[in-house]
Amino acid sequence: MTVYAVPYPPPTPPRAAGRCPDCCGTGLSGATYLMPVSEERQLLVHEFCGTCQGCGAADHDGCLPGVHALDPDEDIDDDTGPHVELWIGDPSCVCSGRGWCPVAAWNASDPDAVTRFLRVPCGCVQDKAQPVDPADAGSADTVVEANHG
């Protein structure tokens, strides 16, 4: 089984906002998950920070459209802000150029499960996926089941 990951640039929160105190500006919680995409391949996906939703900022007043996991797509379709240069996807794709889509996930066997949002690579960046050393994927202790139909 080969594990792949897409390298994303770190978020660039507005300087005045400061870094999110929970993720230190990474936009990620630190939790990783393995998502099967075929019998031979899995994607290493990251959970967005629950506090900043992926922007990395402590204060969201200066955040630009599309930097949060839960930004509605209609807010970013025509965006031309400077942060768009850091996006790695196809602007005409469903991800609007971000290169990722937020996917809600939870443990279906846990009645008290918390919904988490994962940064799942969009198909438009599949050529950017790189093999990951299995030792680096070792911290991914939860397998996310995906519908590949």
Would the pTM count as exceeding 0.85? no
- The residue ranges of every structural domain in the chain are 2-143
Name the one residue in this structure whose structure tokens are 């990783």: 32
Q: How many Cβ atoms from other residues are within 10 Å of residue 6's Cβ?
A: 22
Q: Which region, left, alpha or beta, applies to residue 65 given φ > 0 means left and ψ of -120 to 50 means alpha?
A: beta
Whether the predicted pLDDT of 23 surpasses 90: yes
33-61 tens-digit pLDDT: 888 888 888 889 999 999 999 999 998 88
60-82 tens-digit pLDDT: 887 877 788 887 554 554 555 55
